[in-house]
Amino acid sequence: MQSYRKELWFNVPQRRQTLDITQEVEDALRESGVQEGLLLVNAMHITASVYINDAESGLYQDMETWLEKLAPHEPISQYHHNGYEDNADAHLKRSVMGREVVVAVTEGKLDFGPWERIHYFEFDGGRKKRALIKIIGE
């Protein structure tokens, strides 16, 4: 059994943005040499998520709209967490979207269904952020 670790760094200038990181994850899988195993990708910040879904701009917009209805950014006074920062909504959005994804690796490839892509969703951008890739297998 072998393991491989890589960090992906992002500079997300907007407060919220979705990035399709599938290609970067596939590159890391190739670098690892793992042919059969499991691949984990997780956001290393508590105001971001990693998820699997379709890479389609309308869906990105729908997710943004839906999450903003669940946990609107403003008014910031509605949240107890806000004080030092104004990102309580980002923490709540991350709780809904989750922290990580795990994907099976088969014959050196991500074992995906149709249209599945890996996304990094930033809820409180404006500074450097990162995601961790951890691959274990043979």
Instruction: Take residue 62 and report the two structure tokens written for it.
Output: 């729908």
Chain Cα centroid distance, residue 15: 15
pLDDT per residue rounded down to tens, the chain (138 residues): 999 999 999 999 999 999 999 999 999 999 999 999 999 999 999 999 999 999 999 999 999 999 999 999 999 999 999 877 899 999 999 999 999 999 999 999 999 999 999 999 999 999 899 999 999 999
Every domain of the chain and the residues it spans = 2-137
Q: Global pTM?
A: 0.95
The rounded distance, in Å, linking the Cα atoms of 52 and 116 is 6
Summarised one tens digit per residue, pLDDT across range 38-71 is 999 999 999 999 999 999 999 999 999 999 999 9
Instruction: Take residue 122 and report the two structure tokens written for it.
Output: 């930033």
The rounded distance, in Å, linking the Cα atoms of 99 and 45 is 9
CATH class of the structural domain 2-137 = mainly beta
